[in-house]
Amino acid sequence: MIVTIAHTKGGVGKSTLAWHIIFMFIMLGKRVKVIDLDFQQTTYFLNQIRVSSGLDGLEVEQPQDIEELISLLEDYDEDIVIVDIGGFDNDMNRTAISYADKILVPISNSVTEVLGFKTFEAILEDITTQKLDYPFVNVVLNNIHPLTKNFDVITEAIGNNPQMKLLKSIIRNRKVYKDTLGVGKSVLDTNDTPAIEDIKRLCDELTSH
């Protein structure tokens, strides 16, 4: 299964979620291939920090052209491929989106987020020629204030598009998601049970049909 974490808007949490779900899937016994398509090389650098602090690192693929990307996406042995793409629109990112079995789109709960999402939705419609019989655009609420309970603005934006769904998992704003990144760790290297459970729920939801 290829999961491409995508949104043309920057800073929505693509790399943060990619990082934590990679380690959760590994912990759950999945073999994971990691592809970093962002020129900021966030996942690549987080992994460098991890390795230099003595922890077990990942093998992060950084294909240099579309041909190399396609060969990675067409021929993999792992259970799950996680692709972290940058917050912009280019051919490499479009390729990773068109090959995805599931697209994971982090979004937070505000009107400006909805406007940004509309732009991205138009790009998705432009790219996706696949006619899958399940919602392959999986929107996840991320960076949500712990007390927020009303998500009407997002629910309305997603509407009744049969290929899009709002996941039940909600990733709250938690310092631990951010602080662990800085030292090359994931939530699994902490004792923060609520944060670990949120990430686990997201992984379970992504792998269930």
Where do contacts with ligand ATP occur on this chain (CB under 6 A)?
A: 10-16, 38, 40, 42, 86-87, 142-143, 171, 173-174, 177-178, 181
The entry of Mg ion, ligand ATP, none near residue 142 (CB within 5 to 8 angstroms by kind) is ligand ATP
SS3 content of the chain, % helix, strand, coil (to 5): 45, 20, 35
End-to-end CA distance of the chain: 12
- Which of 11-19, 57-65, 137-145, 173-181 is the region at the interface with Mg ion (rule: CB under 5 A)? 11-19
**Choosing among Mg ion, ligand ATP, none, which partner's interface includes residue 128 (Cβ < 5 to 8 Å by kind)?**
none
Comparing CB distances to ligand ATP, the nearer of 133 and 147 is 147
* Radius of gyration, alpha carbons of the chain: 16
Among 7, 14, 94, 185, binds Mg ion (CB under 5 A): 14
Residues within window 17-56 making contact with Mg ion, judged by CB under 5 A: 42
Closest CA to 199 of 26, 7, 11, 10: 26
Is residue 95 involved in binding Mg ion (CB under 5 A)? no
Rounded CA-CA distance 97/191 in Å is 34
Q: β-pairing, 164-172 with 137-144? A: parallel
Q: Closest approach of Cβ 41 to Mg ion, in Å?
A: 9
74, 48 Cβ separation under 8 angstroms: no
Shortest approach of ligand ATP to residue 29 CB, angstroms?
25
- Residues in the site for Mg ion, rule: CB under 5 A? 14-15, 42
